[in-house]
Amino acid sequence: MTAPAADIGQHPFAAVLCGLGTAQADLLVPNAEISERLGVTDDWILTRTGIAERRRAGVETTTADLAVRAAAAALKSAGTDTVDVVVLATATPDHRMPGTAPEVAARLGLHDIAAFDIAAACTGLPYALQVAKGFVADGAAQRALVITVDRLSHLTDPDDRTTAALFGDGAAALVVRRGQVGEPGAVGPVILGADGRHADTLVVPHGQFMRMRGREVFHHAVTRMSQATEQAAAAAGWSLSDVDRLVPHQANSRITAAVGRRLHLDGGRVLENIAHLGNTSASSILFALAHAACNGSLRPGHRVLLTAFGAGLTWGATTLTWPNVPCVADRPDPSQRREAAR
C-alpha cells in the first residue's frame, strides 16, 4: 500500500528548493561501443530504450567522488557552504560499512553534522526528499543537502541485453532551506510506497550482476508511477490538468511514454533526457530537471510533479512550483577519451 501523505499543515516550515547541481561521469559510451558485443544494432538499442549514449565512471572513480562533485555544484547554486544534514541516496555505496555520506560531508568541509545513506534504488530522490523535508520542516535543520548518486553500470553484465545498454553513472544534488508552505520551490506532500513481494523482479545478489525481468518491471513502473503521480497531485490540491511538467524517473523512453499516455499528459509536458545519459537511477529526475531548466523548457512558476520507481519494489512522487534557482553542472573534460567496450 502507498503510505499516506504527511499533512504539511502540521509544521510551521516548508523545505524549499534553493540549489541544484549535477555531475556527469567521465567516460562517454555510445551505442556503437556495446552493440556488437550484445549482437544487436545501434538502432535496436535506441528504439527499445531511447538511449543513444551513456556516461560511465572509470574503475578508479568512486561513488563518493561523483557525490562530492554534484554536492559542491548544488552548494554553489544555493550560494552557501554550510548545511545541517546530508542525506545521500545510493544503491552503490563504496563500502558495506561505513556509509558514503559521512565521507562526502567531510570532503565538503561539513563536519559534526548528521550524514547518512538511504537505499531505495531508483526511488532514492523522493525517499531522501521526505527525510530532508522532515529535518527542515520540524525545525531540526535550516538547510539540508540531498545527494543522489549511483554507479550501476558496474553492477550490470556486459553480455546481458536486458540491462547492459540501460544504465549510466552520475550524481546530482539539491539544497533545501527552511521556508514557507506554498512559496515557489516548497516541496509538497511526498507519496512513498514499497512492495517487497516483487523484490526479485529487479535485484543484484551479493557478488553477482543485476537480474531484471524487463516486462514485469515495465508493468510495475508504469502502474506505480502513474498511481503515485495521481496521489501526489491530489495531496497537493492539484488536478493533472494543473501540472505543467511531469518529470518521471528516466528508466527508458518507452516507460516514460506509457506513463504520459496513461495520465493523458501530452509529450510537451513530460520531460525526458535519457538519450545522452542513460538510466542514471536515483539521479535521473534531477538530471532531467537541470537539463530542462537550462534549455528553457522548465521555467519559474511551472507546476512540477516528480515521480519515481525502483527496485524493492519502491515508488514515490511529490510536487513543487519551480523556483528561480540556477543549476550548476560539473561536466567532464570534453577531451576525455571514450571508454572501450567492456
Per-residue model confidence (pLDDT) at position 2: 46
Q: Write the CA distances from 152 to 2, 165, 203, 209, integer angstroms.
A: 26, 11, 12, 10
32-77 residue pLDDT tens: 999 999 999 999 999 999 999 999 999 999 999 999 999 999 999 9
Placement of cell 558485443 in the chain: 37
- 238 has a pLDDT exceeding 50: yes
The full DSSP string for 81-116 is: S--SEEEEE-SS-S-SSS-HHHHHHHHTT--SSEEE
87-145 residue pLDDT tens: 999 999 999 999 999 999 999 999 999 999 999 999 999 999 999 999 998 889 999 99
Per-residue model confidence (pLDDT) at position 332: 80
Q: What does the alpha-carbon distance between residue 224 and residue 218 come to, in Å, rounded to a whole number?
A: 10
Task: Indicate which residues carry an active-site annotation.
Answer: 122, 249, 279
**Are 176 and 143 in contact, with CB atoms under 8 Å apart?**
yes
pTM for the full model? 0.93
- The pLDDT > 90 percentage for the chain reads 89
- 28 has a pLDDT exceeding 80: yes
Q: What would the mean pLDDT of 228-241 be, rounded to a whole number?
A: 97
Placement of cell 518507452 in the chain: 254
Per-residue model confidence (pLDDT) at position 331: 82
Beta strands in the chain (DSSP E): 2-3, 14-24, 27-30, 53-56, 85-89, 114-118, 143-150, 170-179, 191-194, 202-203, 211-212, 245-248, 303-310, 314-321, 327-330
104-120 residue pLDDT tens: 999 999 999 999 999 99
